[in-house]
Chain A
Amino acid sequence: MSFMDTLRTRWQEYRKPGYYDEFDYAWTMTIDLDRCTGCGACVTACQAENNIPLVGETELARGREMQWIRIERYWEGEYPNVKLNFIPMLCQHCDAAPCETVCPVSATYHNQDGLNAQVYNRCIGTRSCAVYCPYEVRYFNYYDHEWPSPLDQQLNPDVSVREKGVMEKCTFCIQRIRQAKDTAKDDGRRRVLDGEVQPACVQTCATEAMVFGDRNDPQSQVSQSMNDPRAYHVLEEVNTAPSVVYLKKVEANVST
């Protein structure tokens, strides 16, 4: 191949949008809204796994909550025909993530697993990613958080403790994914098995509303779950191609 040909091939390669299709894994989560009871176990599990700081009442009053996964609640109707719908909201790991393009220092990007990764050490704290995120799932460290001793002994050594001025968000428990990949490699396997890795929220969910896995594998539980006709994306109209798929809540016909 001549130099020009090489150049042309490379050019075409680099001009191909969204080549995350070719990633090693495409980690995906489905959340069945028909099962979610809004209990909040996922929230606490996430806090425990990912060293999410305690914010305190005064800071919460100033609107500085810090929960990588949160339960949103939406009321419908008025008393007595009133309904409450829960929806867990976490980083959607969008394939066309608005947050990634806006970071001037590439502190957030798409990694080879199709995850939306956040590099804490690289972050300079412009907070523009949080503005660009339509799901509002990016959280900022407004100051150095403290773990009064001995609460600090609980901190997970696999996850870094973020300093002030750094943006953070759900990672799909990337430390667990890393570990599973290492185990697979040690066992001489090419790929992580389905169900071998689960983020803390999925693991703890008592109604089994959440399923996590690789959608590249058509046999995986999550692919099956995505096959459900109830599958949809939240805020589909903003076209972010999320990796979190929700299954529609089922509304029973209650004739009263």
Chain B
Amino acid sequence: MSQREIAYSEVNDDIVRSLVVTGRNYYITLAVSILVTFACFFGPWFYQIQYGIGAAGMNHPTVWGTYLASFIFWIGLSHSGTLLSAVLHLTNSEWRKAMYRSAEAMTLFSVMVAATMVMVHVGRPWFVHWAVPYPNQMEMWPNFRSPLMFDVMAITTYMTGSIIFIYMGTIPDFAAVRDRTTGWRHHMYVLLSLGWRGTDTEWHRLHWAYTFLAVLIVPLAVSVHSIVSWDFALSIVPALHQTIFAPYFVVGAIYSGTAGIVTVMFVLRKYMKFEHLITKLHFDNLGKLLLVMSLLWTYINAVELFTGWYSESSEEYEALGFRLFGFYGPLYWEMILFCAVAPLLLISKRFRTSFVPMLILSIAINIGMYTERFLIVATSLPRQYLPDAWGMYYPSLVEILIMIGSFGMFTTLFLIFVKIFPSVSLYEVKETLPEPQPKLRTQSESGAS
């Protein structure tokens, strides 16, 4: 592409600058996002702990609400990062290298936010550790037959895997940054780099360890969202009890995750001044991926509707009818517009390589995907088997605040991340650059000839 030739040292300079030099805008953004986190997330949440889940709008029979929708959303958003990074690593894609670090970070933080959403969701978060298998006096173990328990195991594994994956890939970079920093930062990076030197043995081990991790993480990531889908699909709720749900969720997750990466890439490129590292090539490739995912997603949605229609059962009819034309019907069509129709623009290469339109589309896709998750919960549960038990669900103020706050929390975590982790992989970007040629030798040889 139109990538300008840059030297190795320039890469180091850029990254270290991004870590050390901090503008006023950064602090303002950080302050705002911390404020949002506390005012919108922790404040309402503590109120909810005090009052009970009744602070949210859930009721009988719609006992799940936006918290769970947010949970799936964040888990979904986490999917592209590590998964994409691992897949692209295994397939040796060059273009991965400039973006995978921040993509993985996105994974990590969305999983963290998702885990917090679980805490917000449950009625007695102070006992949530009971869902973790540990030896105890009561000899009570969790119920491993439960899809929710699958979730606990899968998400713990995924979070551990993601942390390790991103950390392993960053060790050489920590070492590089270690040598260029002073003061507390230096000490921090000394610890984080674990004494990495960059010897040929270390590189060799890292390569293999990283490859094995990638091999393990790809099926893990796929399993995580399949399992999340089974929270729903293993129930016998009409419109949730569908075999298509696992691929549906995995595709949706990768879809929204990819869109999330586009958003993050745009922001990084713009505000961390990584224009020369993150280029049109990346947007073009991500755009292609988005297009594929959008088509897949649309197909699965069609399958879901078809299955419902073909079932000829009143339960499926009513639930799907309510989703399409009920109170939340407009949201459904909004979702279709954002996730199935608008992404068709990606067919045009000009669109894929224009930054601002890609940003807008990626945000729209994620709004649509959040809507999808909301609709899964809010339109299926109110329309179940016994019509006399039907009800309606409207999110409460506390729920909406917490939903906004979760974005604040994500932003906060990400902002802290970019100041600690080199948000672009130093050594892998260097690998994409032309190898330095021996200058002295060349000169002397040319002189000799």
Residue positions of A touching B, CB distance < 8 A: 59, 62-65, 72-74, 89, 98, 101-106, 122-128, 130-132, 134-136, 139-144, 164-167, 235, 238
* Most chain A CB atoms below 10 A, which of B64, B127, B231: B127
Interface of A is mostly: loop
Residues of A within 8 A of B145 (CB): 101
Q: Which residue of A lies closest to B388 (CB)?
A: A72
Nearest-Cβ distance from residue B322 to partner chain A, whole angstroms: 15
Residues of B within 8 A of A144 (CB): 52
Docked-complex contact A165 and B388, CB < 8 angstroms: no
Nearest-Cβ distance from residue A29 to partner chain B, whole angstroms: 18
Docked-complex contact B122 and A126, CB < 8 angstroms: yes
Which of B51, B58, B389 has a CB less than 8 Å from the CB of A136? B389
User: With A98-B236, A104-B152, A125-B124 in contact, do A140 and B53 touch (Cβ < 8 Å)?
Assistant: yes
Q: List 7 A-B contacts (CB under 8 A).
A: A101-B146, A105-B140, A122-B130, A123-B123, A142-B59, A144-B52, A164-B123
Pick from B93-101, B189-197, B265-273, B378-386 the stretch touching chain A.
B378-386
A142 to B53, CA, bound (A): 5
A144 to B389, CA, bound (A): 23
Which of B54, B127, B143, B389 has a CB less than 8 Å from the CB of A103? B143
Which of A59, A63, A126, A143 has a CB less than 8 Å from the CB of B62? A63
A238 to B313, CA, bound (A): 13
Whether, in the assembled complex, B420 has its beta carbon less than 8 Å from a beta carbon of chain A, the answer is: no
Given A125-B122, A165-B53, 20 extra CB contacts under 8 A:
A62-B59, A63-B391, A64-B54, A72-B388, A104-B146, A104-B148, A126-B122, A128-B146, A128-B235, A131-B64, A132-B235, A134-B386, A135-B386, A136-B385, A140-B63, A141-B52, A142-B58, A143-B54, A144-B52, A166-B124
Size bin of chain B's contact surface: 35 or more
Q: Which residue of A lies closest to B391 (CB)?
A: A63
A146 to B367, CA, bound (A): 40
Docked-complex contact A235 and B385, CB < 8 angstroms: yes
Residues of B within 8 A of A128 (CB): 64, 146-148, 231, 235
One digit per residue, 1 when the CB lies within 8 angstroms of any chain A CB and 0 when it does not, for chain B 50-72 equals 01111101111111100000000
Residue positions of B touching A, CB distance < 8 A: 51-55, 57-64, 121-125, 127-128, 130-131, 140-143, 145-149, 151-152, 231, 234-237, 381, 384-389, 391-393
Nearest-Cβ distance from residue A229 to partner chain B, whole angstroms: 24
Residues of A within 8 A of B392 (CB): 63
User: With A72-B389, A124-B127 in contact, do A143 and B122 touch (Cβ < 8 Å)?
Assistant: no
Docked-complex contact A134 and B143, CB < 8 angstroms: no
Residues of A within 8 A of B148 (CB): 102-104, 126, 128
Residues of B within 8 A of A103 (CB): 143, 146, 148
Interface of B is mostly: loop
Residues of A within 8 A of B123 (CB): 123-127, 140-141, 164-167
A177 to B37, CA, bound (A): 50
User: With A104-B131, A104-B146, A104-B152 in contact, do A125 and B53 touch (Cβ < 8 Å)?
Assistant: yes
Docked-complex contact A102 and B234, CB < 8 angstroms: yes
Residues of A within 8 A of B142 (CB): 104-106
Nearest-Cβ distance from residue B397 to partner chain A, whole angstroms: 13
A118 to B3, CA, bound (A): 64
Docked-complex contact B61 and A165, CB < 8 angstroms: no
A64 to B53, CA, bound (A): 11
A243 to B123, CA, bound (A): 29
Docked-complex contact A238 and B53, CB < 8 angstroms: no
Residues of B within 8 A of A122 (CB): 130, 140
A126 to B71, CA, bound (A): 13
Nearest-Cβ distance from residue B122 to partner chain A, whole angstroms: 5
A101 to B141, CA, bound (A): 14
A74 to B58, CA, bound (A): 25
A139 to B234, CA, bound (A): 21
Docked-complex contact B391 and A102, CB < 8 angstroms: no
A238 to B147, CA, bound (A): 18
User: With A102-B147, A104-B142, A125-B123 in contact, do A140 and B386 touch (Cβ < 8 Å)?
Assistant: no
Docked-complex contact A131 and B237, CB < 8 angstroms: yes
User: With A73-B388, A135-B385, A165-B123 in contact, do A63 and B53 touch (Cβ < 8 Å)?
Assistant: no
Docked-complex contact A136 and B384, CB < 8 angstroms: yes
Which of A98, A106, A165 has a CB less than 8 Å from the CB of B143? A106
Residues of B within 8 A of A63 (CB): 59-60, 62, 391-393
A235 to B385, CA, bound (A): 8
Docked-complex contact B130 and A136, CB < 8 angstroms: no
Residues of A within 8 A of B59 (CB): 62-64, 142
Docked-complex contact B385 and A143, CB < 8 angstroms: no
User: With A102-B234, A143-B51, A165-B53 in contact, do A123 and B124 touch (Cβ < 8 Å)?
Assistant: yes
